Structure 1
Amino acid sequence: MQYSNQRKSSLITLSLCFVTTIFEGLELQSMGVAAPHIVAELGLTSNEMGVIASASSFGLLVGALFAGMLSDHVGRKWVLIGSIFQFSIFSLLTPWAQSVDALTLIRFATGLGIGCAMPMVIAICAESVAPQSRIGVVTMMYSAIPMGGFIATYITLATEDWRNIFILGGIAPLMLTPVLIKYLSESNKFLKAQHGSGESALKSNLRGLFSENRALATLYLWLGFFCAVAILYMLLNWLPILLIGKGYSNDEASTVQLVFNVGGSTGAILLGWLMTRCRSRFIFAIATTGIAFSLIGFAMLEHHMLNAIIAGVMLGIFVNGLVFLLYGQAGAFYPTRFRGTGVGMAVAAGRVGAIVGPLIIGLLLSADMGESKVLISILPLVLIAGGVLHLLPSRSNTKPY
């Protein structure tokens, strides 16, 4: 009976986290999908759009840093619920912004909420399943992120009004919050491992990331996150504009973005499943090699819609799959007593990449570099990611909690 109740509680927790992650994905990709329409309506330059996109990522960085540490002391549940409330409200405010400054501030605040939510979902999922299942379950859980992006793209195509993305992205998560309050349980593993509070506990948690043979692995994980998330956000924010520059229409570019998200969900499920059966280094090698060949294929594309769709699916599989594998790795690597801090710091390292990546693409386009050369310029990050992830140990050398 006790096992049955634990299994039921775990399924409820994973289901609620999955729905939450769909809304995260919708909000994360909303600006990339809406960008061509916002640029046209407000008359923004590439640099201005890059600043707005990076403001959201900076908010994600700050949120991930502090939410992970906070959750190791007050718990995962209420940090998650508060973060959902925040990004919902600011999503609703986005359509009413009429200046670069207003959009930048609102998207920073939205990113702050999403940044708080992401480490919480990873930690809650990791702590609701057996240690040997954590990487695979968290990776597959994040197949919901591209599903949210798919919804954002579909809304744009179906309604022809970019504002609807942000209205839905605000109202739907707000409706979810009372359900989370009632049905989402605090992590039992967190409650058992809870210890200390205040400055001494914070310092202990930060030291834990580099103790017991974790130092190099933590640094490799951070660098892997930086490169992988930089690549993802370069494509999320700029892929439609790059395709339009190569001669595709707005609808064609949106369609490719849509299949990019379909590929992302497929990649998360497929690579997550493989991660439960194969060594992590092998799966990381498949993902980084797939990204490299897909980018080269995209760069060589002429205006051919079928080839663009195929390239979009493949790029979605490997780029999203790599990022979500890293989420799973971070959730599984650190023990419960400072899992929130460890996951938050790793996610924050990725957010630095998410800030830098879109800015680089904006600068390259402003310098009149062709779209194909811009895509090829992403390859060094792929090579660095492949190298450091090959050095990352398959699991922590410490006892899992």
Structure 2
Amino acid sequence: MPFIVRAMIFIYVVIIIRGSGAEGMQEQEDTNHIKIMQLRSLCMIAERGTVSEAAEDLFRTQSAVTRSIRDLEHTLATPLFERHASGMLLTENARRHDHLWVTYFMGLFVIYLLNGWLPTIMRSGGISLEQAAILAELFQLGSPLGGILVGALMDKCNARVVIGVVYLLGCLCLLAQGIFAFSGVALGVFIFIIGMCINGAQNGLQVYSPAYYPTEMRATGVSWMHGIGRTGAILSSSIGGLLMGAFPAQSAIFFILALPALLAAISIVLHRNVSLSLKIKGAALDDLPALSQTLNK
């Protein structure tokens, strides 16, 4: 009996090999799976000598495989974080989130206040409307150059420190304009540098923040940061009007705006990153090479 079964197994294997090429990929996999199970049954019959013992062993093996597959499916389907992302933002590592939010709030406050009030500020200092418009354009022209430079530096150095230093440089330029009240070409140069630093650091922060948040709360965290930052942009319009009424001198506004720029620099420097385990959790394998570039930042 065992010799006959072995002969049948040999013939069956030949049939599987010759018949596999004529079927489609998915159908071939399904068919071969069935054939392999049948082949295993024949092997067990040859080994055990009886059909009942072979069937019992085959049933135990299949049950163990089924349990392993179910355990694996349960592991893969289990969420890494059981709580909602919004709750995590407000409870876990709140200071880390606060630093990003404060930085973005202060940065947009300075940018939108200067965007809206810079021509009026220049006009209050006796500058013509045409020159005030040119200065406003210089502030905007500094933005793309600042974004390119900050991005290049973030790839080579610690991203958090780069953003903080650029904010600080913008703060110093605002402070210098507020103290010395430059005019002419020097004023244009300082306005351009201020736009390059503040806008460039703000662009860098938008790139830095998604790399900070874990995958499970990335969209929620970045959305909260943008929402709170836009609050600073909205408040800048009304606060700018109040400052213009209280401090009509041109240099006073720049001096005052140095404070939120300084707070943005300090806040991002004090920010601390999440742990390595949280950063890697939920990331796809294809994302790991790019993710590794931000692990020490």
Equivalent position of 1:256 in the other structure: 135
Q: Does the C-alpha gap of structure 1 residues 208 and 257 become closer, same or farther in structure 2, counting only changes over 3 Å? A: same
Say whether 1:333 aligns with 2:212.
Answer: yes
Measured in 2, the distance between the counterparts of 1:265 and 1:243 equals 23
- Matching of residue 357 in structure 1 with residue 236 in structure 2: yes
Which of 207, 213, 228 aligns to 2:87? It is 207
Among all aligned residue pairs of Structure 1 and Structure 2, give the percentage whose two residues are the same amino acid. 26
In structure 1, stretches of 5+ residues that fail to align are 1-192
- SS of equivalent residue, structure 1 residue 209: helix
Alignment TM-score, normalising by the size of structure 2? 0.62
Counterpart-to-counterpart distance in 2, 1:214 and 1:272: 27
Question: Counterpart in 2 of 1:280?
Answer: 159
CA shift, 1:210, in A, is 4.9
Deviation for aligned residue 1:367: 2.8
User: Structure 1 length as normaliser, TM-score?
Assistant: 0.47
Preserved CA contact (<8 Å) 1:333 1:396: no
Distance 1:195 1:314, change over 3 A: farther
- Kindly indicate whether the alpha-carbon contact (under 8 Å) linking 2:138 and 2:192 is maintained by their aligned counterparts in 1: yes
| In 2: Cα distance, 1:277 partner to 1:303 partner | 36
Task: Report the RMSD for the aligned CA atoms in angstroms.
Answer: 2.7
Contact 1:206–1:341, Cα closer than 8 Å, also in 2: yes
Q: CA 1:333–1:298 in structure 2 vs 1: closer, same or farther (change >3 Å)?
A: same
Provide Cα deviations, 1:369-393, integer angstroms capped at 9, x if missing partner. Answer: 3121122111221222222111112
Report the structure number with the largest CA radius of gyration. 2
Count of equivalent residues: 203
Q: Aligned partner of 1:209: which letter?
A: L
Please show how residues 177-192 of structure 1 align to structure 2 within 5 Å. none
Matches within 5 A, 1:163-202: none
- Is residue 322 from structure 1 mapped to residue 182 from structure 2 by the alignment? no
The Cα shift of 1:336 comes to: 3.3
Asked if the contact 1:195–1:337 (Cα under 8 Å) also holds between the matched residues in 2, the reply is no
Give the Cα–Cα distance (whole angstroms) in 2 for the partners of residues 307 and 295 of structure 1.
13
Gaps of 5+ in 2: 1-75, 284-297
Which residue number in structure 1 is paired with residue 263 of structure 2? Answer: 384
In structure 2, what is the equivalent of residue 297 of structure 1? Answer: 176
Shift in CA distance, 331/290, structure 1 to aligned 2, threshold 3 Å: same
> 4+ residue stretches of structure 1 with deviation over 4 A?
193-196, 394-397
Query: Residues 254 and 281 of structure 1: is their aligned pair in 2 closer, same or farther, counting only changes over 3 Å?
Result: same
